[in-house]
Structure 1
Amino acid sequence: MNPAAADWIARLGLAPHPEGGWFARIHTDARLVDTPAGPRAAATSIHYLLDRRSPVGRFHRNRSDILHYLQSGGPVDYWLLEADGSVRRVTLGLAPNQQLFLHVPGGVWKASVLHEPADHALVSEVVTPGFDYTDHEFLTLETLHADYPRHAGSLAAFVRPG
């Protein structure tokens, strides 16, 4: 593991994330809001890190909106599967054609991939209403092929095995 990634993992107390990469929840708002799925914290926040050992965050979606802020390293590519069947790639990084911030609406499939030759990307995320595992879903290969057949071959590597 590169020194920068190891330092962030130790400094922030990051643990392996089920999507890939590393994470730690850093905030849960004490206020609750009603949602169709039940009460949720008004907002939650995590630190999320991809590195060379775990360079991919597998396709998943949440009911809530997620705001992503690049904190260190990068660039990192985000692949978004839109409801109309289109695919959009957004790169978080420091170059003029890259962004420091990304908003992903609830219900949109997303994957993140550490951009070559970066050795890490540390992103902070804010979820509104707050994250709850019952609002989270991993993309399957069957859904990828059924809903995004034009892109299934190029994006299958970003789907969690099993």
Structure 2
Amino acid sequence: MTSKSKNDDPSINSRPASDIIQQLGLTPHPEKGYFKETFRDGTTDSNNRSYSTQIYYLLEGSDDTSHWHRVDATEVWHYYAGAPLSLELAAPIANSSSSGAATDRKHDTKLATLGPDIFSEQQPQVVIDRNVWQRAKSLGNWTLVGCSVAPAFVESGFEMGPPGWEPGNK
């Protein structure tokens, strides 16, 4: 028989974000929200880059949209708990830049909703190809997700969009 404390609640979703942040040991993330790296593969490639990494990531409230950013590796977002999460994705369109800067290009944009209700157009996981611009927004009080990155996340492969930048459409 499993013992329960007097503070146990049958649903993690009824807890405030601060409880989740404390329980998982999350710290502030540069894009907004909170995170903790939970896995970094010990196997590396010829450039000494790990094959993969995994993090917990928590975004609070619909006012806490993450900054536009991209990484140089494929990223898989996994829904864990809380409200669904909106992912805005912007893939650069080939040969659409006059200056060559990634932020000057036109982009093909789409929305995906990460969440548990597969019968309401939510997905329990979303794959984001490398170098695709992305930002996330919780559709409720908070959302807890996981992000798997392969090859592993490295700071040098991370780019934040300039303040106020929005991707251009076709």
Whole-Å separation in 2 of the counterparts to 1:39 and 1:105: 22
Partner SS, residue 57 of structure 1: coil
Range moving further from structure 2, 50-59 or 18-27: 50-59
How far did 1:106 drift?
A: 0.7
Aligned with residue 31 of structure 2, among 7, 14, 19: 19
More helix by share: 1
Question: Which of the numbers 62, 65, 78 marks the counterpart of 1:69?
Answer: 78
Cα deviations across residues 19-66 of structure 1 (Å, max 9, x unaligned)? 0000001011100023xxx33101111000001297222110000101
Q: Residues 53 and 17 of structure 1: is their aligned pair in 2 closer, same or farther, counting only changes over 3 Å?
A: farther
Q: How does 1:1-162 map to 2 (within 5 A)?
A: 3-34=15-46, 38-52=47-61, 55-84=64-93, 85-95=107-117, 96=119, 97-115=121-139, 118-141=140-163, 144=166, 148=168, 150=169
Deviations 1:86-121 (A, max 9, x none): 110000112321111000011100000111xx1111
Report the Cα distance in structure 1 between the residues aligned to 2:62 and 2:86, rounded to whole angstroms. 16
Aligned-CA RMSD value: 2.0
User: Comparing both structures, which one devotes a greater share of its residues to strand?
Assistant: 1
Runs of 4+ residues deviating >3 angstroms: 141-144
Report how many aligned residue pairs link the two structures: 142
Q: Which amino acid aligns with 1:120?
A: W
Higher gyration radius (CA): 2
In structure 2, how many angstroms separate the alpha carbons of the residues matched to 1:142 and 1:112? 15
Alpha-carbon separation, structure 2, partners of 1:79 and 1:103: 12
Contact 1:29 1:42 in 2 (8 A): yes
Q: Which runs of 5+ in 1 are unaligned?
A: 152-162
User: Deviation at 1:141?
Assistant: 4.9
State the identity %. Answer: 26
Structure showing greater relative contact order (alpha-carbon pairs closer than 8 Å, 6 or more residues apart): 2
